[in-house]
Structure 1
């Protein structure tokens, strides 16, 4: 007895959904290239921080304090969240950076149990120097990163 193989036609919506779920080779290449460019930028950033006699984490802390503080001190707990580290690790980082004269620790006037941190003039100076060369590097690679993001948008990978 022969088995009949009839194809049932899927609705257009199901076909479009399946097509959106497929990842093409060109998408893998674009994603690999994007991650490569990001890693190159991170390596550049880490090297630039070390040349300025900072650890990459200290540079990121300076940038987070300045970038997310709106000119107000940031709590050690907030800094830990911004850096994706544990609170006790942030406390140690703040202690080291304070000894280097990059930040100053303040008591929170609303809650004396909380410590707040803000940049010192030296911390501002070093962050400004690092940020300037980071902007230059981003300017050099910006077109390539923009092109990659546009590829993801065109391919439907980014909504």
Structure 2
């Protein structure tokens, strides 16, 4: 959208509103699907999201609590509590950093990795239905 005088955004057209409505509908449908399959697997949607961010962190298969907080758009203390709950469920473990031992790395356990891969396999077709994911387009 372009700007009007004074820096205010231009009012959306009917087509813009329809596209926004369709996007929000598809997003909500996806989130509901995700809630249902994660609960059926015995984990919460947040636990799944944390495991996905740990394993899917760019360039490596672990992340720090601070990095996870950013990726989840959550407060660091809330993310640390989520890591603790995932640790109690044997989904992740903490490990001191090799270079800086004050830096704590979060890694998936074997159980967490297996759970993540099963859930990700269920999520992938749903994400692909958005049309832009994984370099594919949908007609």
Q: Deviations over 1:128-147 (max 9, x none)?
A: 111111112234x3359967
1:70 aligns with 2:79: no
1:44 aligns with 2:33: yes
Q: CA RMSD in A?
A: 2.6
User: So what's the TM-score if we normalise by structure 2?
Assistant: 0.81
Shift of 1:113: 2.0
Among 116, 121, 130, the alignment partner of 1:142 is 130
C-alpha distance in structure 2 between counterparts of 1:119 and 1:37, whole Å: 30
Distance change in 2, residues 1:34/1:127 (3 Å) = same
C-alpha distance in structure 2 between counterparts of 1:132 and 1:95, whole Å: 25
Q: Structure 1 or 2: larger helix share?
A: 1
User: So what's the TM-score if we normalise by structure 1?
Assistant: 0.72
C-alpha distance in structure 2 between counterparts of 1:75 and 1:17, whole Å: 39
C-alpha distance in structure 2 between counterparts of 1:87 and 1:142, whole Å: 30
Shift of 1:85: 1.1
Q: Which has the higher contact order (CA 8 A, sep 6+)?
A: 1
Displacement over 3 Å in runs of 4+:
142-147
Partner of 1:154: none
Moved more, 24-33 or 63-72: 63-72
Q: Where does structure 2 lack aligned partners over 5 or more consecutive residues? A: none
- In structure 2, the residue corresponding to 1:124 is in which secondary structure? helix
- In structure 2, the residue corresponding to 1:113 is in which secondary structure? coil
C-alpha distance in structure 1 between counterparts of 2:22 and 2:30, whole Å: 12
When the two structures are aligned, how many residues end up with a matched partner? 131
Shift of 1:77: 1.1
Q: Where does structure 1 lack aligned partners over 5 or more consecutive residues? A: 1-15, 148-159
Distance change in 2, residues 1:25/1:127 (3 Å) = same
